[in-house]
Amino acid sequence: MNAFKWKHFEAHIILMAVRWYLRYSLSYRDIVELLKERGVQVSHATIMRWVHQYGPELDRRIRRYLKPTTDSYRVDETYIKVKGQWKYLYRAVDSQGQTIEFMLSENRDILAAKRFFKKALSSPHNQSPRVITVDKNPAYPPALQQLKDETEIPRETLIRQTKYLNNIVEQDHRFIKKITNPMLGFKSFQTADRTLMGIEAMHMLRKGQVKLQNLPVPSVVEFINHLFGLSA
């Protein structure tokens, strides 16, 4: 299926704008100016629609190429402002800092924690956890115990509630916040969710979580074009 059918701009222009926004601390109007220097006239609203459409699509398409993560989960949440209110971005990385999973949530409770862990466990690039390190959020232990009772995770999985061991995921939050902070908040939960999918996908690419050496592409840019069926 052609992901760019009926678009008024060339596919490589669309992907370039989306890639810039999701990877760097740029506003939509910054990208308007950068494209104008290249002779492309496009509105910031159009770029915004491209990000909302192709950010989640990028996340979906890279999943099959992700390297396996380790069986040591480091889990934490960070805050994302949506319509003037703080929402919760659940994130997990492994012992090497590779992204395991992420999920934007309206709430910070047992149900949200359980939903996040189920999403992480369902991703094919992740191993069943040997150990899960969390912070002092009281929702984690009961959520994980429920998952053990439901045999979603092994009963022998060790749960460590130790904040200092989670420095690796807290450091990893910084890249996401570096991109989202200049956005000055999202207008809706849906647009926040879709944009964050793209930001997290680009972050995984930046961290080298895709095996490019097995593909006929020399770089991340060519890899993204390859994902969307564009020739070099």
pLDDT (0 to 100) of residue 167:
87
The rounded distance, in Å, linking the Cα atoms of 78 and 84 is: 16
The full set of domains in the chain, from first to last, is: 71-186 (3.30.420.10)
pLDDT (0 to 100) of residue 165:
73
Query: What is the average pLDDT across 2-27?
Result: 91
Report residue 98: phi and psi, to 5°.
-80, 140
Cα–Cα distances in angstroms (integers) from residue 140 to residues 62, 143, 160, in the given order: 29, 5, 10
pLDDT (0 to 100) of residue 200:
98
Query: What is the average pLDDT across 65-81?
Result: 95
What does pLDDT average to over the chain? 92
pLDDT (0 to 100) of residue 214:
63
Judged against a pLDDT cut of 80, whether residue 153 lies above it is answered with yes
State pLDDT tens for residues 170-222.
999 999 999 998 887 899 999 999 999 999 999 999 999 998 766 666 788 98
Residue 219, classed as helix, strand or coil, is coil
**pTM given for the model:** 0.93
Token representation of residue 176: 């996401």
**Could you count the other beta carbons within 10 Å of the beta carbon of residue 154?**
13
State pLDDT tens for residues 83-129.
999 999 999 999 999 999 999 999 999 999 999 999 999 999 999 99
Do 139 and 110 form a contact (C-beta atoms < 8 A)?
Answer: yes
Query: What is the average pLDDT across 43-60?
Result: 96
**Could you count the other beta carbons within 10 Å of the beta carbon of residue 210?**
21
Judged against a pLDDT cut of 90, whether residue 45 lies above it is answered with yes
Pairing of strands 85-93, 131-134: unpaired
pLDDT (0 to 100) of residue 1:
59
Confidence at 166, pLDDT banded by 50, 70, 90 = confident
pLDDT (0 to 100) of residue 8:
85
Query: What is the average pLDDT across 74-84?
Result: 94
Residue in 122, 117, 169, 166 with CA at minimum distance from that of residue 145: 117
Query: What is the average pLDDT across 160-176?
Result: 87
